[in-house]
Amino acid sequence: MKLSGAEILWECLVREGVEVVFGYPGGANMPIYDAMLSYPVHHVLVRHEQGAAHMADGYARASGRVGVAMATSGPGATNLVTGIATAMMDSSPTVFITGQVHAHLIGGDAFQETDVTGITLPITKHNYLITRADEVAEVVREAFYIARSGRPGPVLIDICKNAQIEQTEFEYPADCKLPGYQPPWHAPKSDLQKAVELIEKAKKPVILCGHGVMMSGAEEVLQHFAVKTNTPVAMTLLGLGAFPASHELSLGMMGMHGEAHCNLAIQNADLLLAFGMRFDDRVTGTLATYAPGAKKIHIDIDPSEIHKNVKADVPLVGDLKTVVTDLVPMVDEYEHEEWMMQIKEWKADGDARSIMSWPEDGKLHVSHLVHSLWNATEGGAIVTTDVGQHQMWTAQYYFMEKPKRWLSSGGAGTMGFGLPSAIGAWFAQPDEEVWTVVGDGGFQMTQAELSTAVQENANVKIAIMNNNFLGMVRQWQEFFFEKRYSAVNMRTPDFVKIAEAHGIPARLVTKPEEVQDAITFARNTPGPVLLEFRVEQEEAVYPMVPTGAALDQMLRRPVRQETE
C-alpha cells in the first residue's frame, strides 16, 4: 500500500510505542500535522518550542522511553535548540522532528529555511535530513534505535515538505543497518580482572554513581555491589535517586555544592569506582588536585569519556549493568571499618552546620521549604527544577530514594527547564505526584507553558522560590566580586495573579506557619497549582567549592549564623 511520507512517519512512531508528542505546527510540517489526525497519538500544543523540547526530555527522563518533540522549519526548529543541547548534555533519549522546506528549495534561502541539521550537528547524537519519502521509514527506525541505545541522546530528523507529501510503498524495516554504530556491551574479562585486583587492595574506596546508572537500569546491581564490597556511594547531581539516600552507604551528592563529607571522602579515597559518570568540572574541582591518592576504575558505555577529564587506571567500556553484573561474582566481601568511621566523623561535622538544625527565625528558607515538601510527599514525588540556588537546595534536601524522579538540567544548566520538564514527566507518569521547584528567574523563561499545563490539565504542582534575585549569580557576586551586584536584582510580577489569569489555583506564602497549609492545598487540588514562596533574599548555598579550588577546599556555612 502506498502512503505519504507524513503517514509513514506516524506509522513508524506508533510502532516505536510513541503515545504522546510535544510540538508546534507551522508551514513546513503541515502535512505531518494533517496525517497525525488519523493516528492514536496525543499531541500536546506547547507555547514555545523550547517547552516542547524540555517536555520530551522530561518525559524521557521520567519514563526511560524516548521522548518526541516536533517543530516547523526555521524559527520553530531553532527554538528547539536549547532543549536539544540540554538533552544532549544529560544523555536524554529524545527524537526531534522538524519540517524543512521543499528539497528543491534547499540552499536558496527560502522562507523559513534554516540549516537545522547544520545547527544541531554538535548538539545531537546524530541527525538526518530527509529529502525523499522513501527514506522516512528507515531513518525513523534508526533514529529511535540510536536515541535509546548505547549512551542515549537526542536525534534530530529534518523532513523536507515534499518528502512528507510524496507517496511511496511503506514497509517497516526489520532492523537497522548501522555498520558504524555498535555500542559495547561487555568489558573484556582481562580488564575486569584488573579492576578486581584494585578493588581487593582498596582500603578507602568510594563509588561515584552517575546518571549512567539509571540509563543502564543498574540501580539494583549497584546496590548489590556496594553492599557486598561495603563501599560508600557518592552521587552526581544527575545520579541522585540511583542509590537510596537513606541507605547507610549513601554519601549523598558530590561536587561544587555536594556534602562536605562526601567530597572529603572522594579526596581521601584510595580507589574511585566511577559508574556511568563523566568527571564533570562541577564534581571534580580543579583536576590537578582531584583525589590525588586514588586509583580510578572508570565504567562507561561511551569510550570518549575514558581519560577525557580524569585518567582512568582501569577503563571498562560497556553497558554499566552488564559490566557490574559481571564484576559482582568476581569480588569478595570486604570490611572498611576505619574508613567508615572516618566518614562518619566528617558527616557529624556537616550535620552540626546544617541549616536544618537552625531554629525557626520567622523567615522562609528554601532548604526548609524543600524539607517540608519532602516530608509532605514522603519523599515519593517526581521533582523537577530549574537551575541555580533552588536547584542545589532541592538536590540537597529532597532526599531521593528512587530513580527517575529527580529531573534537573545538569550538564547544560538550562534555566526554564523546570515547568516544561514537569509537564513532560506528568505525561510519562500520570499517576505520580509531580512537583517543580523553580526560582523566580528561571520560571519566567518558560512561564508561557502555564497555558499548556492548563490546556492539558496537567497535574503539576509549581513551587516558585521567589527571592527577587538571580540567586546563584548573586551568590557568586557576593563571594567573588566583593558583593558588587550587577544585573541580579529582579522585579518579579505577581505570580499568583499570573496563575489566576490562567485559571490556575495559587497561593502566596510569606511566613513559615503558612507552609504546611499551602503544600496541603496544592496536593489536594487536582490539576496545576502554583505556590509562590517569598524566601530569604540573600542566602547562600553551602558548602561551595569555588571554581579552581580543590574539591575539599569548600566554603562552609559558619556553625553559628550571625544575624545582621
Partner 1 sequence: MQYTFIALVEDKPGVLNRVASLFRRRNFNIESLAVGRTEKTGVSRMTIVTNCENDTDAHKIEANLYKLVNVIDVQDVTRQPSVTRDLALIKVKATPEQRSEINNLVAIFRARIVDVAPDSVIVEATGTEDKVEGMIELLRPIGIMEMVRTGQVAMTRGEHCGIRRTPGANGNGWHPEEIVPVGAD
DSSP result, 291-359: STT-EEEEEES-GGGTTTSS--SEEEES-HHHHHHHHGGG------HHHHHHHHHHHHHHHHH-GGGSP
Q: How far apart are CB 319 and partner 1 at their closest, in Å? A: 8
Contact 67, 424 (CB under 8 A): yes
Residue 315 lies near partner 1 (rule: CB under 8 A): yes
Provide the angle, in degrees to the nearest 10, between the axes of the packed helices 515-524 and 366-376. 50
Alpha helices in 386-513 (DSSP H): 389-397, 418-428, 440-445, 449-455, 471-480, 495-501
Q: How far apart are CB 317 and partner 1 at their closest, in Å? A: 4
Nearest to 385 by CA among 393, 373, 376, 374: 393
Q: Which of 75, 107, 118, 548 binds partner 1 (CB under 8 A)?
A: 118
Amino acid letter, 357: S
Residue 189 lies near partner 1 (rule: CB under 8 A): yes
Tell me if residue 444 is catalytic. no
Contact 284, 290 (CB under 8 A): yes
Query: Among 114-122, 209-217, 411-419, 512-520, which window interacts with partner 1 (CB under 8 A)?
Result: 114-122
Residue 306 lies near partner 1 (rule: CB under 8 A): yes
Q: Which of 13, 87, 89, 129 binds partner 1 (CB under 8 A)?
A: 129
Instruction: State how far Cα 374 lies from the chain centre.
Output: 19
Q: Which of 19, 64, 102, 145 binds partner 1 (CB under 8 A)?
A: 145
Query: Among 35-43, 124-132, 213-221, 386-394, which window interacts with partner 1 (CB under 8 A)?
Result: 124-132
DSSP result, 206-223: EEEE-THHHHTT-HHHHH
Residue 27 lies near partner 1 (rule: CB under 8 A): no
Where in 264-303 is the site for partner 1 (CB under 8 A)? 300, 302-303
Tell me if residue 22 is catalytic. no
Tell me if residue 564 is catalytic. no
Q: Which of 29, 92, 100, 149 binds partner 1 (CB under 8 A)?
A: 149
Q: How far apart are CB 306 and partner 1 at their closest, in Å? A: 4
Pairing between β-strand 67-71 and β-strand 94-100 as defined by DSSP bridges: parallel
Question: How big is the chain by its Cα radius of gyration, in Å?
Answer: 24
Cβ burial 332-367 (10 Å sphere, 16+ → b, else e): eeeebeebbebbeebbeebeebebeeeeeeeebbbb
Give the phi and the psi of residue 192 in degrees, each rounded to 5.
-60, -40
Residue 15 lies near partner 1 (rule: CB under 8 A): no
Residue 186 lies near partner 1 (rule: CB under 8 A): yes
422 DSSP 8-state letter:
H
Q: 3-state class of 466 per DSSP?
A: strand
Tell me if residue 475 is catalytic. no
Residue 52 lies near partner 1 (rule: CB under 8 A): no
Nearer to partner 1, 319 or 552 (CB): 319
Q: Which of 7, 16, 49, 532 is catalytic?
A: 49
Where in 163-182 is the site for partner 1 (CB under 8 A)? 175-176, 178-182
Nearer to partner 1, 188 or 493 (CB): 188
Contact 321, 218 (CB under 8 A): yes
Tell me if residue 171 is catalytic. no
Helix (H) or strand (E) holding 230: none
Q: Which of 14, 45, 121, 501 binds partner 1 (CB under 8 A)?
A: 121
Query: Among 6-14, 65-73, 160-168, 189-197, which window interacts with partner 1 (CB under 8 A)?
Result: 189-197
Spell out, one character per residue from 496 to 535, where the chain touches partner 1: x when CB under 8 A holds, - when not. Answer: ----------------------------------------
Nearer to partner 1, 148 or 404 (CB): 148
Nearer to partner 1, 144 or 170 (CB): 144
Residue 471 lies near partner 1 (rule: CB under 8 A): no
Give the phi and the psi of residue 60 in degrees, each rounded to 5.
-65, -45
Q: How far apart are CB 158 and partner 1 at their closest, in Å? A: 11
Residue 330 lies near partner 1 (rule: CB under 8 A): no
| Grid cell digits, residue 379 | 519523599
Which active-site residues does the annotation give?
49, 111-112, 161, 472
Which residues sit at the interface with partner 1, rule CB under 8 A? Answer: 117-118, 121-122, 125-126, 129, 145-146, 148-150, 175-176, 178-191, 300, 302-304, 306-308, 311, 315-319
